[in-house]
């Protein structure tokens, strides 16, 4: 089937250099949501999707935001002369043997099930998606005849008082047989208050030509919301987040407050997962059975093992964490961190491109970068791996059952053998042998007669 997505608008009320359809909802551009919905609708009906996005303002930015895997073709609308004019630009790419569904790049919440109902309701002819609003100001009104059939759609600025009293409004979304849609598009005129070519005028043409025009009402008005301002963007964002929260709870997660969670990607949860308030999930996040995420944690492209606990204000990025681990509070892991089962990472500890073996611990104020840390090793407070020489990164290898005292510096590249102990305050730049105590400190000196400098008195 053909799916045309109108995405050419400037969005002046957004007051942004970013094209309107690229503003994110739940971590993805609005247009990306609509493209995904288009693909899902075609899959639900068992057909392939010929998806065409009509772009205009910021066209290059919009094109560059998508790749071949998105399976969408772009056509340029320049100048922008209305919705009918936009679909005209896509007409040469439409397959006349398949119906055409028209969607909008700034209406990201429409559900797949609703669009399938719309297409099925058309029964091969024309069908429009409508919604009933208590306050319909600004929307095109659905005008029906005495039998309830759709006669036409009248835009707000062209409506008379009787038509403005109608509460059933047009969402802009419609489906039509392509072989009939193309001639209707060529007959559009711009003799209206806006001087634009309205796609909605196709409905009156269809009626005059004897086509059956049906209307399918969206069951949830929220899914038809369009975005034309930052306040509307914020409203749509919260609705999208509430949907995700409901899906997570249905999957078995306990949310301390469904209104205080932000998912900007994809989250999968096992049974008995617990998520406290203020957490942000980006990219792909997997939480295994019994995982507990404390308040105000940020997880980006992270896998968390069963029964692992993240304590408040921890930030994990591109990290895998095993089962029964304990992370935080105020811990940070950077890309390439891999923490095995039962690892403990505590206050103000940072792990980068390093593997922590089973049961290893770094509970206080440590930095572990570009390192392999063996099982059951304990890294003392204030310890760092000095992995950067100003040009290149170097690796630190720490064996199993190692005890590293507080405020140690391991100058990479360096190895610490199994069972070794490093004395507190040591700067280790050569191999520390297995099973032995290594101490590398400057000799303590006391200088007699030394006096602390005094501030000069101001004159």
- What the block records as the tokens of 94 is 């439409």
Distance of CA 229 to the CA centre of its chain: 19
Which residue among the candidates 85, 344, 364, 394 is catalytic per the annotation?
364
Burial class of 430 by CB neighbour count within 10 A (0 to 12, 13 to 18, 19+): exposed
Measured CA distances, 140 to 269, 307, 391 (Å):
42, 53, 63
Please give the helix or strand (H or E) that residue 24 lies within, else none. strand 24-25
Is the Cβ–Cβ distance between 207 and 174 less than 8 Å?
Answer: no
The single residue listed with the structure tokens 């590249």 is 413
Token pair listed for 71: 């399976």
Which residue bears the tokens 């792990």?
A: 351
Instruction: Decide if 281 contacts 304 (C-beta within 8 A).
Output: no
In 244-365, at which residue ranges do the beta strands (DSSP E only) sit?
A: 254-255, 261-269, 274-275, 279-287, 292-293, 298-304, 309-310, 315-321, 326-327, 332-333, 337-339, 344-347, 350-352, 355-356, 361-364
Instruction: Evaluate whether 227 touches 233 at the Cβ level (below 8 Å).
Output: yes
Q: Cβ distance 311 to 327 under 8 Å?
A: yes
Q: Which SS3 state, helix, strand or coil, does residue 363 take?
A: strand
SS3 (DSSP) at 179: helix
**Is residue 85 among the annotated active site residues?**
no
Q: Which pair of structure tokens corresponds to residue 157?
A: 């600025």
Distance from C-alpha of 217 to C-alpha of 225, rounded to nearest angstrom: 14
Pull the structure tokens for residue 324: 């029964």
Are 453 and 436 in contact by the 8 Å Cβ rule? The answer is: no
The CB density around residue 271, as the number of other CB atoms within 10 Å, is 11
Active-site residue numbers?
Answer: 364
């Amino acid at each position: 089937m053909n799916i045309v997505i109108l995405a050419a608008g400037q969005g002046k009320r957004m007051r942004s250099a970013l094209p309107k359809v690229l503003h994110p909802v739940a971590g993805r551009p609005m247009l990306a949501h609509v493209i995904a919905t288009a693909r899902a609708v075609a899959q639900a009906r068992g057909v392939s999707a010929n998806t065409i996005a009509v772009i205009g303002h910021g066209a290059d930015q919009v094109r560059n935001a998508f790749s071949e895997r998105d399976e969408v073709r772009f056509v340029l609308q320049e100048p922008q002369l209305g919705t009918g004019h936009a679909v005209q630009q896509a007409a040469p790419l439409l397959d006349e043997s398949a119906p055409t569904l028209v969607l909008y790049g700034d209406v990201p919440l429409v559900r797949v099930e609703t669009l399938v109902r719309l297409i099925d309701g058309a029964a091969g002819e024309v069908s429009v998606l409508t919604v009933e609003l208590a306050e319909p100001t600004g929307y095109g009104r659905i005008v029906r005849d005495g039998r309830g059939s759709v006669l036409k759609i009248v835009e707000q600025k062209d409506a008379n008082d009787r038509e403005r009293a109608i509460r059933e409004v047009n969402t802009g979304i419609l489906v039509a047989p392509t072989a009939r849609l193309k001639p209707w598009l060529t007959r559009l005129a711009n003799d209206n208050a806006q001087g634009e070519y309205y796609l909605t005028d196709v409905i009156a043409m269809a009626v005059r030509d004897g086509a059956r025009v049906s209307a399918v009402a969206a069951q949830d008005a929220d899914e038809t919301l369009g975005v034309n301002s930052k306040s509307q963007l914020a409203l749509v964002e919260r609705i999208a987040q509430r949907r995700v929260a409901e899906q997570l709870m249905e999957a078995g997660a306990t949310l301390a407050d469904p209104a205080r969670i932000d998912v900007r990607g994809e989250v999968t949860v096992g049974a008995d997962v617990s998520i406290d308030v203020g957490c942000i999930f980006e990219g792909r996040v997997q939480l295994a059975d019994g995982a507990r995420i404390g308040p105000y944690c940020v997880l980006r492209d992270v896998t968390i093992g069963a029964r692992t606990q993240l304590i408040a204000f921890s930030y994990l990025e591109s990290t895998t964490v095993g089962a029964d681990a304990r992370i935080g509070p105020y811990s940070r892991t950077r890309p390439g961190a891999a923490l095995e089962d039962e690892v403990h990472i505590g206050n103000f500890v940072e792990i980068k491109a390093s593997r922590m073996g089973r049961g290893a611990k770094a509970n206080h104020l440590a930095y572990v970068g570009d390192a392999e840390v063996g099982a059951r090793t304990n890294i003392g407070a204030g310890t760092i791996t000095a992995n950067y020489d100003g040009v290149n990164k170097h690796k630190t290898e720490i064996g199993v059952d190692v005890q590293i005292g507080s405020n140690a510096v391991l100058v990479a590249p360096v190895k610490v053998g199994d069972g070794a102990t490093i004395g507190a305050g040591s700067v280790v730049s050569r191999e520390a042998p297995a099973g032995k105590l290594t101490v590398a400190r400057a000799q303590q000196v006391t200088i007699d007669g030394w006096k602390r400098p005094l501030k000069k008195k101001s004159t």
